[in-house]
Amino acid sequence: MRNTMNIYKRKDGRFEGRIPFGRDNNGNLKYKYMYSRNLAELKEKMLYAYTTSEKYSPVVCGKTLQELSLEWLNCAKLRVKESSYCCYEKIVTKHIIPYFKQIKYTELNTPQINTFIEYLLKSGKSNGKGGLSSKTVQDIIVAMRSVAKYAEQEYGFRNPMHNISIPKIEKKDVPVLNEVERKTLQNHLMNDLNNTNIGVLLAMYSGMRIGEIGALKWEDIDLKNGIVHISRTIQRINDKSGNNKTKLVIGTPKSKTSERDIPIPDFLVDILKARKCNESSFILSGRHKPVEPRTIQNRFKSVLKNCGIRNVNFHLLRHTYATVCIENGFDAKSVSELLGHASVNITLNRYVHSSLDMKKKYVAKLNFSA
């Protein structure tokens, strides 16, 4: 309880304390203010106010991190996509609750949270053998910040996450497909234009995510103007409602900016015109049943093997697309919009990979005496 008290010393020498006691019509916290020249006396006044308030009874103030995390999850379920909720639930039940167990929320402090982060990075995997990636740990800490914000807004609790730094994601140099690999892959695809190969070609020349390719229907392609409209994505998530562990869902793309129109080259438009079938069928299956991302990934790996190209993930086509666009003089803003990013910085920091040959070409153009 004492950890939730806000006390300040005023210029007139008195101590001022405040406790939250509800919300106004706009949802903002309302506070009661108390004053005293004696700090101990003020604390006793505030403690009495807490214990006599129904909302801030000892039962409420003794809430555990587990209880507050589950409360936050229930609230999140009403406002986020099902796939996002599944990610949050996994973070809470697999990482936060098992580690902190029944610790009272008001006892949570900075050293404990930093120790938790260190544990995740060193031995956070379910089998205890090795640590989690920086990205996974970052997601966990972001979720804990949301739980802390919920506790602060709903109960007026002190926020222990204010001074916690999120681990930086280790940037790995992704070896995008070079010119020889791209030509080899395209020749192979063009010589066997089945549904899978057309999907890979589309990814090469649009930068679509694997889920977006899987959810793409013929009705999403404007063949007259050569434009692909992205409005859906497909993914497999945990299923809590039935007997199956997971289920395939088709929903809106990753973010609002991911809903976009992508122009494609004329040669690809011609290929699609010759292949077109029922408007409501999926591109990759030619039927009303989609192909799921894992199957697309496996088929792509088979294509690479047949081409004699190194084994890479389907997502590398997206990185390659962004890099080739920049190499061909596209401005960063246009590339960002084509990829459906909310920020140009995401595009430049994660998806554009300059090669040594590209740098040599740029340097060769330098002439300070001209």
pLDDT (average), residues 271-275:
91
Paired tokens of 27 = 């949802």
- The predicted pLDDT at position 228 comes to 96
Q: What is the mean pLDDT of residues 67-75?
A: 92
Starting from the edge strand earliest in sequence, which strands make up the sheet with 221-222, in order?
Answer: 221-222, 227-230, 260-263
Identify the pLDDT of residue 224. Answer: 94
- The residue behind tokens 């409360």 is 71
Q: What is the mean pLDDT of residues 204-215?
A: 95
pLDDT of 367 over the 50 cut: yes
For residue range 326-346, what is the model confidence (pLDDT) as tens digits? 888 888 899 999 999 888 888
For position 277, what pLDDT does the model report? Answer: 80
Condensed to tens digits (0 to 9), the pLDDT of residues 211-261 reads 999 999 999 999 999 999 999 999 988 876 666 788 888 988 878 889 999
Flag whether pLDDT at 369 surpasses 90. Answer: no
Tell me the backbone φ, ψ of residue 305, rounded to 5 degrees: -65, -40
pLDDT of 368 higher than 50 = yes
> pTM of the entire structure?
0.72
Query: What is the pLDDT confidence band of residue 99, given thresholds at 50, 70 and 90?
Result: very high
Distance in angstroms (rounded) separating the CA atoms of residues 84 and 220: 25
Mean pLDDT of 126-148: 90
pLDDT of residue 239: 78
pLDDT value at position 61?
63
Distance CA 47, CA 45 (A): 6
- Report the chain's mean pLDDT, rounded to a whole number: 86
Percent of the chain with pLDDT over 70: 87
CA dist., res. 190 & res. 207, Å (int): 18
Domains of the chain: 2-61 (no CATH), 65-155 (1.10.150), 179-362 (1.10.443.10)
* CA proximity to 143, closest of 219, 211, 194, 92: 92
pLDDT score recorded for residue 353: 67
